[in-house]
Structure 1
Amino acid sequence: MKKTTCVLLKALLIFTFFCLPKPIFAQPGNEYKVASIGFYNLENLFDTIDSPTTNDVDFLPQGRLYWNTPKYVSKQANMSKVISQLATELSPDGVALLGVAEIECRKVLEDLVAQPDLKDRHYQIVHYDSPDERGIDCGLLYQAKYFQVLGSRAVPVPLKDPRTGVVDFTRDILYVAGLLDGEPLHVMVGHWPSRRGGEAGSGWMRAAAAGVCKYLSDSIQAIDPNAKILIMGDLNDDPDNKSLTQVLKARRMADDLKPGELYNPMYDLYKNGNGTLAYRDSWDLFDQMIVSKGLVNKTAGGWQLYNAHVFRQPWLLQTEGAFRGYPFRTYVGDIFINGYSDHLPVYLFLLKKKS
């Protein structure tokens, strides 16, 4: 344990660390422990209070969307309902960790984990304000009885326009290092730049975000080639786009990964017609969870990837109208329809042999 902790401390470099009690896992079955991790884009989880430093004007009681307390309360209940059911087929206590995107501030996460459907899990929060103009951030929720946070930071994503040379910043990559049932795990949560302006014209921005994740991953694996790394988020690209395949080097097959390459278990899901959001009657799988070789290399021991899923339930889809079959979201245009999100959540299972 001293050796692995030392490696983790070196990878964190300038981070500050905290020690928590050792977690105890529920252990279904006779041979393996099970851990589940998820990601969910919460689609504009804003409070109703004006923030003077961000452009949240649409999500105010007198704003374009008339975002008020009853709507906020309903949104929180809807989000907690979804999260409470993620991965419960193998993990009755739900996901041990949950990456989230499109949250305005820490307070909305505090309200979320206090919801009746979630409060008994005692989720803790990792969150940093990002430079996003609208003020939407990423965060990580975790059950402290399963995951010990050792350190975290917000990693900037500089965007240098290839045409003008002007540098701007998008949402940070949230990096968290910790121990999952006593075993080192590195987690990155991202919300890569959108396709506004077209897929081709904006692709360089997602490549930049992918490059930051690749740099972090390579730096960690340079210290520990068998490091267990999980990159998750709304990447605004599909598994077969260049940002994933060429920059991040996330592969479709887990076998024979070369040094620095990652495995994308969402790739086959996508090719089999699964998606997490719909656009013009076509499904994309932007919400992804990508793992390092250490999580698919059985000789490395410890936690290993079992499988990945899109959480697709009939009640998460619209049942009528022009967007029938699409994710049941909060608004259609300016009309409040009291749904969940325009994205479906994703999750995966990790297994580890009992000692």
Structure 2
Amino acid sequence: MTPKKNIRKYHTIAFYNLENLFDTEDDKYVLDDDFLPNSDRNWTPKRYEKKIYKLGAAIASLGPEEAQNAPVILGVAEVENKKVLRDLIASKKLAEFEYDFVHYNSPDERGIDVGLLYQTEYFEVLESESIPILLYNEEGQRDFTRDTLYVKGLLNNEPIHVFVNHWSSRRDGADETAYKRIKAAETVREKINYIQLQEDDPHIIIMGDFNDDPTSTSISDYLMDTDLYNPMEKLLTLYSGSLNYKGEWNLFDQIIFSTNFFDYKKRTHSFASADIFDEYFLTQWKGRYKGNPFRTYAGRKYLGGYSDHFPVYIQLKFND
């Protein structure tokens, strides 16, 4: 990647859970029966195309106004396959940004994966891998979940390491499933420790839907250390978060980064700000759930919204 003469000063790094972005075709290897044209949810090509357009519009505007650009790097969760990502980056609102993506199929039974979208003008992928989260039940059988995506690349020629996560859900109870998210945290931490042995002062970004809040044990005790900073700790309040469950806000969607993003060196990036992207157009406009994320489905009822999560982002300043 050659240096740019007129590089932008601010860059948005974001994460967005896209709420079951499935295509309309039957894949016999995953449990996608709920998202087919003849399913109870009536997931038709028209509805799929509408969701692709809406998500593209949301991503195109994601971030603070001063960035004047869509995210240069965007982690996503709940995507079925490469096809949906190709359709997304080719959609009307995103095509101009010339995104590419990294994606691996995970063993998750629901057939949903994580991925990384990036603007090729600003980010170059050097290497990537899918890191399995090895969980086992009491009988010793593998409990399959989403892999964590690891990507090393150059952001405006600066090497950075990015992790995209979607940790196990709380569906069977937060306490009962906590060990799964702790295992995911330990797995990511091990990889970070390895990178730090291989490189001097590496720049690291960990993003995802952790299904835990910033102060939850998995993150605070098993992932965080003095080398990492979580700006999302200050963003969760009684009145705001990235998702709302039974009237209470959570901030499961987070972006954590290494503390060397606070340093100032020429031709590197420094942390500028962090926020939840909860713009009015992404919210439910009226009724009981006013202000909540405007989701695509409520159970099996089609609402036609964007996602049941708000995106989150950090802004980096390029030090020229």
- Which TM-score band applies after superposition, normalised by the shorter structure? over 0.9
The aligned counterpart of 1:197 is 172
Report the alpha carbon displacement of residue 323 of structure 1 after superposing the two structures with TM.
2.0
- Please say if residues 237 and 243 of structure 1, whose CA atoms lie closer than 8 Å, have aligned partners that are also in contact: yes
The two structures have a TM-score, normalised by structure 1, of: 0.86
SS at match of 2:54: helix
- Please say if residues 136 and 142 of structure 2, whose CA atoms lie closer than 8 Å, have aligned partners that are also in contact: yes
The aligned counterpart of 2:287 is 321
2:4 matched to 1:24?
Answer: yes
SS at match of 2:304: coil
Query: Unmatched 5+ residue regions in structure 2?
Result: none
2:193 matched to 1:213?
Answer: no
Select which of 35, 39, 44 maps to 1:68. 44
Query: For 1:97 and 1:84, how far apart are their aligned partners in 2?
Result: 12
Number of equivalenced pairs: 320
One-letter amino acid of the structure 2 residue matched with residue 94 of structure 1: A
The aligned counterpart of 1:235 is 210
The aligned counterpart of 1:253 is none
The aligned counterpart of 2:28 is 52
- Please say if residues 43 and 342 of structure 1, whose CA atoms lie closer than 8 Å, have aligned partners that are also in contact: yes
2:150 matched to 1:170?
Answer: no
Query: For 2:140 and 2:273, how far apart are their aligned partners in 1?
Result: 42
- Please say if residues 265 and 290 of structure 1, whose CA atoms lie closer than 8 Å, have aligned partners that are also in contact: yes
2:68 matched to 1:92?
Answer: yes
Query: For 1:25 and 1:301, how far apart are their aligned partners in 2?
Result: 12
Matched ranges for 1:192-341 at <5 A: 192-249=167-224, 257=226, 261-271=227-237, 273-298=239-264, 302-341=268-307
One-letter amino acid of the structure 2 residue matched with residue 107 of structure 1: K
Query: For 1:225 and 1:270, how far apart are their aligned partners in 2?
Result: 33
Report the alpha carbon displacement of residue 89 of structure 1 after superposing the two structures with TM.
1.0
One-letter amino acid of the structure 2 residue matched with residue 52 of structure 1: K
- Please say if residues 23 and 145 of structure 1, whose CA atoms lie closer than 8 Å, have aligned partners that are also in contact: no
- Please say if residues 23 and 147 of structure 1, whose CA atoms lie closer than 8 Å, have aligned partners that are also in contact: no
One-letter amino acid of the structure 1 residue matched with residue 318 of structure 2: K
Query: For 2:5 and 2:199, how far apart are their aligned partners in 1?
Result: 25
Report the alpha carbon displacement of residue 301 of structure 1 after superposing the two structures with TM.
7.7
Select which of 30, 39, 56 maps to 2:15. 39
Given the superposition, is the C-alpha separation of residues 110 and 248 from structure 1 closer, same or farther in structure 2, using an over 3 Å criterion?
same
The aligned counterpart of 1:11 is none
One-letter amino acid of the structure 2 residue matched with residue 321 of structure 1: G
The aligned counterpart of 1:123 is 99
Query: For 2:48 and 2:149, how far apart are their aligned partners in 1?
Result: 25
- Please say if residues 57 and 64 of structure 1, whose CA atoms lie closer than 8 Å, have aligned partners that are also in contact: no
SS at match of 1:211: helix
SS at match of 1:201: coil
Deviations 1:8-33, CA, capped at 9 Å, x for gaps: xxxxxxxxxxxxx32537545xxxx3
Query: For 2:144 and 2:5, how far apart are their aligned partners in 1?
Result: 39
Q: Give the CA RMSD over aligned residues.
A: 1.7
One-letter amino acid of the structure 2 residue matched with residue 178 of structure 1: G
Query: Unmatched 5+ residue regions in structure 1?
Result: 1-20, 251-256
One-letter amino acid of the structure 1 residue matched with residue 285 of structure 2: T
Given the superposition, is the C-alpha separation of residues 105 and 26 from structure 1 closer, same or farther in structure 2, using an over 3 Å criterion?
farther
The aligned counterpart of 2:310 is 344
- Please say if residues 264 and 289 of structure 1, whose CA atoms lie closer than 8 Å, have aligned partners that are also in contact: yes
One-letter amino acid of the structure 2 residue matched with residue 309 of structure 1: D
State, as a whole percentage, how many aligned pairs show the same letter: 43
Select which of 103, 106, 120 maps to 2:82. 106
Select which of 115, 123, 126 maps to 1:150. 126
Given the superposition, is the C-alpha separation of residues 325 and 234 from structure 1 closer, same or farther in structure 2, using an over 3 Å criterion?
same
One-letter amino acid of the structure 2 residue matched with residue 174 of structure 1: L
With 227-236 and 166-175 compared, the bigger mean Cα shift is at 166-175
Report the alpha carbon displacement of residue 167 of structure 1 after superposing the two structures with TM.
3.0
- Please say if residues 232 and 288 of structure 1, whose CA atoms lie closer than 8 Å, have aligned partners that are also in contact: yes
Query: For 1:278 and 1:211, how far apart are their aligned partners in 2?
Result: 27
Query: For 2:61 and 2:232, how far apart are their aligned partners in 1?
Result: 20
- Please say if residues 226 and 300 of structure 1, whose CA atoms lie closer than 8 Å, have aligned partners that are also in contact: no
The two structures have a TM-score, normalised by structure 2, of: 0.95
